Amino acid sequence: MISQIILIVILLLLSSFFSSTETAYTSVNKVRLKNISKDYRDIRYKSAKLALKLEDEYDKLLTTILVGNNLVNIALATLMALIFTNISERYGATISTIITTVGVLIFGEISPKTMAKQNADSYAIRVAGILNLFILIFTPVTKLFSAWTKFLEKKVKRSDNKITSEDLKVFVDEASGDIDKEHSELIKNSIAFEKLTASNVMTPRVEVIGIEVSDNALDIAERFRKSGYSRMPVYEDDLDKVVGIVNHKDFADLYMPGGSGIEDDFLKKIITPPLQVTEALKLSDVMHRMQNAKSHIAVVVDEYGGTEGIITLEDIVEQLVGEIFDEHDSLVSEGIIALKNGSFNVKADTNLKFVLSYFKIPDSFIEEYHSSTVNGWVNECLDHLPRLGDEFEKIYGNKKIKVRVFRATARKSLEVNFVVEKVKSSEE
């Protein structure tokens, strides 16, 4: 009887081992295993290498685990049936079935799998050697089942298991405990960066401040002063014919006291050739072209060759690291004015991402819109050109935003009023 009890305990332990191993290798972090296997200062690096090898041969690994687990559970059920039928021929089979089922569920499935999932990486490394031994023992059986598996794979069409950018974002969110918020945002921005084109981040033509090649020095100096920009496009007749880019420093070297002085056609001597890109060009390609051309600004042209807008290196970098506020950009924060009644007046040309982040609304809600400014967002929400007095509401998570247009022209909104409320529990 004692030998039978010892055998039952051994079989339960083996069942626990196979179940926990299956869960561990299903949940293991492959990247972490690779890092440990390359760190020769870590005493686990050899076991990590073996665990990585086993994980790479997952079909063989899984077949071994399933064969081992089934053999152990069948042996356990048979042994229990023999013991209890000897005690009671009438109820022995029923009692052994109940006790075996409960025992296997608690000690052979639920408990070991729960523990293995909590420490998948370390457990996978610890059991790699023992598991490799079982793989060698069951090799003849696993080869037979592997042949059957390959036969099924030929008959069943394999689904597309490619990892998408959305999958990567989910992985980053799930790894929030290991990655701080700033790094998490940077990774997600990098993933989204590949989808962006020049048209997504450019300054549209209607907002471009440029210099006509025939402008005098005083007008140019005043334009630089008011805009705060360090570079501006130079055009002939209209913005569709941009002839170059002028740098404020080059202009100041001529214009400021002590400079070489202003001559006729002085702009043509200090402008640099404009870099032109198409509106559909990927933002990553735009950045590479700007790097190669050593240019901080590019002109975005449409399919007809006209100027669609301009894009700066800062615009591109901001898509990765978020808004960069310099002494000029700090004026943008004045686009949101808090009123005594608790509402906010927002200038319609303010950056949409900046405004929604000001009200602590996650970027995930912004992704559904194609606009970069509040005015564009208002157009999308209203589905028509905004008119004075237009109102709408939007709910983002636990925030409700009531929007009212109170300044507008015939073609766009100029200023809107925001009332931000927390969503009541009944609305959630």
Phi-psi region of 249 (alpha: psi -120 to 50; beta: other; left: phi over 0): alpha
What CATH topology corresponds to 336-422? 3.30.465
Q: How far apart are CA 54 and CA 49, in angstroms?
A: 9
Contact 315, 202 (CB under 8 A): yes
Amino acid 331: pLDDT:
43
Contact 61, 25 (CB under 8 A): yes
Is residue 240 exposed (0-12), middle (13-18) or buried (19+ Cβ within 10 Å)? Answer: middle
In 281-304, which positions are buried (b, 16+ CB within 10 angstroms) versus exposed (e)?
Answer: bebeebbeebeeeebebbbbbeee
Domain with CATH 3.10.580.10 in the chain: 198-321
Per-residue DSSP letter, 373: B
Amino acid 427: pLDDT:
44
* Structure-token pair, residue 64: 């071994």
> CB neighbours of 329 closer than 8 A, spacing ≥ 6?
323
Per-residue DSSP letter, 385: -
What CATH topology corresponds to 198-321? CBS-domain (3.10.580)
Enclosing H/E stretch for 269: helix 266-270
- Rounded to the nearest 10°, the torsion over CA 125, 129, 132, 138 is -130
Q: How far apart are CA 236 and CA 271, in angstroms?
A: 13
- Rounded to the nearest 10°, the torsion over CA 401, 405, 407, 408 is 130
Domain with CATH 3.30.465.10 in the chain: 336-422
Residues of the chain below pLDDT 70: 1, 157-181, 255-264, 323-334, 363-367, 424-428
